[in-house]
A and B are shown apart, each in its own frame.
Chain A
């Protein structure tokens, strides 16, 4: 107990208040700094033995709510995911045009049907014929333009993945660098600035992917994705590499098989040096990368599929002659004269009462050995490619069909009872019953005597009528971009009316047929379009076009709503985090006043001690 110890205490008080003011000034200065969390300095009493000998500065600690921080990262990933999804969904929606606008897809379809109505009421009119061809051309190019827009968006998504991956790599190496400094500080408490910076980088990373942070020894952290991909093990980070493609088209699709893959994938090279396909392993479940992957590989390809099916439906509704089989003993037979490669023959049968379906896919030998059911439009069907290049009823046709039946355990036999006819028979009382067979046969000539005509052609395959062929790959994929009005009709408009050499120019049969084929006749659209959930959807083509627009509009709306909800959740957690960890200038100013007062008080004590010492010395 002495004046000197009081002087010491006051001096230590001054030091501590100086340190406090230093922290306040840091807080105020960094109030707007991203990633900065409020600092607080603790005052600790200085002990000399049992006695308090003043005060000392404790640790400068970050004010941080770890629970809120974890939640913040989770919501950040989610918000980045929904925001990107919503943004793309809105772009897709915009591609379909303004309600009632000139460029809208449904408007183009309505104009086409209106032109057909006009032509049906005056089939010989030159202007009526031109009107139909103009509207058909506008519709085809509208479908193409939307599809091109879809692929543009896919390319955007691809680029976005590329930039997100390179950003993720930067962030991961930044995290690794800072983490090593944190660990290097050893037993002493790591500098809050380093921790803040590391958190900032992790938060940044959480916008790209779903990051889980596991605290490790000595202030180190381990980063994992929620699917278990080790991003950073405390010493070194995984290397992500993305082999992006410049321009995507409808045929450029993701595949786990690198030779089939038409788009980029993210290769992760682990710390041990092992490399694997992170996309194939579903390593990204949230954040911008996951959203962009889903858009590129699911959402946008489905939109493309919808447009492809629309284009195919439009083309084949007008060009296809629908034939149905007739019942024969224990089975059905069907006349398939004129069957083209790709004109699927659908065979329905039941086994013990359960309905089954076989799709016999005629080919000319250029199709893959197996055709995925999804490509044939029915996930539940058995697809059997049949090479008819040697003739529709060649022995080899039935040999291969029967071999395929036997291989798949289907208790049916196929043969040909007459020219151009196929017959499918199940053994009597075998439990297998053929219930029907049907096919749509593409008419690719104009004067065949049938009202059908190839009004639209596939620009990509020699300008021939679209048949659904699989020669050299599915012709359906990307047909939306390739559909065009048949140049032969443009050159001779009479083909819109004259379906037989003897048909008169004023005969409404063909225009009326086209109109009914578009607006009245139901067509089956594959469940792959997702327009009616996952189920197949039967509707006239015009109706299907509207359902596509509707489905995409609904998708945009729900994505938007989901994103709004996610942004609310994000901003709530941000507020919670900010309330606790953010710098409040008012609070800091109050602290400043408090520190000023304390400083003054300590200084006053020093003055008093000096006065008292003076007094002593003057004695």
Chain B
């Protein structure tokens, strides 16, 4: 678009001739432009040349960039979810294999006090940790938002500590002892009271206590014995952070009658203690108490029987393994933000999890990696290695790997008790503890992303098509234009040459 070649001043005499010359130049230029369109496929080199379509063209390009961004995000997230699902399935498989190897448990401790299964479980623990430390492109997929570093310590440090701090192996015996308490009563408090013809006994535990037993329920079918009026449906009184099981003796129960106390072991499993009244002189069997001369004496006998039973329970394999499992849970339950209480163990405990543990602001692990797949759709694709299902697997594999047994008869029973508990724990009933709940979370995230992806692909195709129509020169159209222009140009040349020859000068 130069300044018109015949601007000022011009020679009036040869204007016509020069104008046709300009027309030829113009047509040649048009031909060059068409040739450019044919070669580049673009209708215009600038936005100015697109005409009214430039707005849609600009907006579509912006939209397309967004859509491509979403699609890239979805692709990336789906790849990650694929790896995560794969990893979680492997964890589930590790748990499954362990379960099947434990039924029935084979007690064959070696020189180091560990059975074959325990040794392979330690390997599995390492494998599980490797899975949890999976990294793609520098991103640790089970670390939540702390994706720049591996979330889980290595198995050796977890089991044996790092020198300064103790590991799971050292925690277990400490916890067993601590749960038992100095008096061997598992932190339960036994008491008796007398008032106006009512002789009562009580056994109580603090609800918030970290260690020991928890009273859960009390049932009785004795004559002249009643539960206090404050007892709830489970037969216990919960008040001021303490749960108390109380029996009020107003007279003598009949022989053969009795009561049951239900307690919770440190790992959350329940144990029942049954007590039966027997006529004097009594058999001395555990779980019996002698009917005394009066209510007070009977109450005292019952109290002694309870004390003996609890002491026995706490020294039993069930309670010991429960403590072991509680220790493992405690170990894997602690985080930097939620540490063990000071002095819980003789030494500080290693912190196994180094990932994102901001449970207060992001309770759901999925939300640690939000992925925007649409204007307003945000899909959680994250996971944290300290989520309950993963912790459950780690704790149960960990306790099995950490424990050791001497090759004696009673130890076999403890091993079997542990194996039994681990086996049961690895098939948790609570959906929040199950790995497949995480997998299904991720599955629905994938499905939502697929839906978004299909939508974007469809929109993208339409937008791209519109863009093509806006911006691209169709080769057929251009070719036809070139042909038409060629014809016009040839005709003009011919006519001009004829006209030029048609001068009077030639005829003088």
Contact = CB atoms under 8 A, between A and B. Distances in A.
Interface string B54-92: 110111011011101110110011000000000000000
Interface string B421-446: 00000000000000000000000000
Interface in B1-19: 1-4, 6-16, 19
Contacts of A27: 13
B284 interface: no
B7 A117 contact: no
Contact of B144 (A98, A506, A582, A593): A506
B505 A589 contact: yes
Interface in B68-125: 68-70, 72-73, 76-77
A150 to B, nearest CB: 15
Contacts of A546: 58-59, 62
A519 B146 CA distance: 27
Contacts of A79: 3-4, 7
A203 B8 contact: yes
Contacts, number: 234
B173 interface: no
A504 interface: yes
Contacts of B32: none
Contacts of B146: 504-506
Given A87-B2, A96-B47, A557-B51, A504 B11 contact: no
A533 to B, nearest CB: 15
Contacts of B66: 113-114, 117, 519
A113 B50 contact: no
Contacts of B148: 124, 504-506
Given A121-B372, A505-B145, A35 B11 contact: yes
Contact of A121 (B44, B76, B145): B76
A276 B149 CA distance: 74
A98 B45 contact: yes
Given A113-B66, A505-B147, A512-B372, A203 B504 contact: no
A137 B12 CA distance: 56
B57 A118 contact: no
A83 interface: yes
A93 B356 contact: no
B62 A106 contact: yes
Contacts of A34: 9-11
A125 B76 CA distance: 12
Contacts of A30: 13
B73 A31 contact: no
Interface stretch (A41-49, A417-425, A547-555): A547-555
A87 B3 CA distance: 8
A578 B15 contact: yes
Contact of A553 (B10, B48, B68, B371): B48
B79 to A, nearest CB: 11
B13 A120 contact: no
Given A93-B46, A506-B143, A32 B11 contact: yes
Nearest to A128: B137
Given A505-B146, A557-B49, A586-B503, A126 B13 contact: no
Interface in A1-55: 27, 30-38
A570 B228 CA distance: 114
A35 B9 contact: yes
A553 B14 contact: no
Contact of A574 (B15, B59, B145, B503): B15
Contacts of B143: 506
Given A117-B70, A203-B8, A86 B45 contact: no
B370 interface: yes
Chain B contact-residue range equals: 35 or more
Interface string A107-143: 1011101100110111111110000000000000000
Interface residues of A, number: 86
A494 B342 CA distance: 34
B351 interface: no
Nearest to B382: A506
Contact of B11 (A33, A118, A505, A556): A33
Interface in B142-170: 143-149
A590 B508 CA distance: 9
B368 interface: yes
Contacts of B2: 83, 87
Nearest to A206: B8
Interface in A502-525: 504-508, 512, 515, 519
A113 B505 contact: no
A356 interface: no
Interface in B359-380: 368-372
B12 A113 contact: no
B248 interface: no
A517 B445 CA distance: 26
A458 to B, nearest CB: 26
A90 B46 contact: yes
B46 A506 contact: no
B471 interface: yes
A549 B61 CA distance: 12
B15 A110 contact: no
B139 interface: yes
Contacts of B12: 36-38, 574, 577-578, 581-583
A582 B13 CA distance: 4
A118 B7 contact: no
Contacts of B58: 99, 106, 546, 549-550
Nearest to A502: B358
Contacts of B73: 117-118, 120-121
Given A79-B7, A106-B62, A125-B139, A99 B1 contact: no
A459 interface: no
A83 B5 CA distance: 11
B42 interface: yes
B341 interface: no
Nearest to B471: A99
A210 to B, nearest CB: 13
Interface string A581-596: 1111110011011000
B241 interface: no
A570 B7 contact: yes
Contacts of B64: 110
B382 to A, nearest CB: 8
Contacts of A567: 4
Given A203-B8, A574-B6, A583-B13, A127 B137 contact: yes
Interface string A377-399: 00000000000000000000000
A113 B69 contact: yes
Contacts of B61: 99-100, 106-107, 110
Contacts of A557: 48-49, 51
Given A37-B12, A107-B61, A585-B503, A93 B4 contact: no
Given A99-B42, A121-B371, A585-B503, A84 B3 contact: yes
20 contacts: A33-B11, A80-B3, A83-B3, A90-B48, A100-B61, A114-B68, A123-B147, A126-B138, A127-B137, A199-B9, A200-B9, A506-B146, A506-B148, A512-B372, A519-B66, A546-B59, A555-B48, A556-B46, A556-B47, A582-B16
Given A117-B66, A206-B8, A575-B16, 9 more contacts: A36-B13, A83-B3, A86-B1, A99-B50, A114-B66, A117-B72, A118-B72, A122-B137, A207-B7
Interface of A: 27, 30-38, 76, 79-80, 83-84, 86-87, 89-90, 93-94, 96, 98-100, 106-107, 109-111, 113-114, 117-118, 120-127, 199-200, 203-204, 206-207, 504-508, 512, 515, 519, 542-543, 546, 549-550, 552-557, 560, 563, 567, 570-571, 574-575, 577-578, 581-586, 589-590, 592-593
Closest 9 CB pairs of A and B: A556-B48, A553-B47, A117-B69, A110-B65, A582-B12, A506-B147, A583-B13, A31-B13, A504-B145
Interface of B: 1-4, 6-16, 19, 42, 44-51, 54-55, 57-59, 61-62, 64-66, 68-70, 72-73, 76-77, 137-139, 143-149, 356, 358, 368-372, 382, 467, 471, 503-505, 508
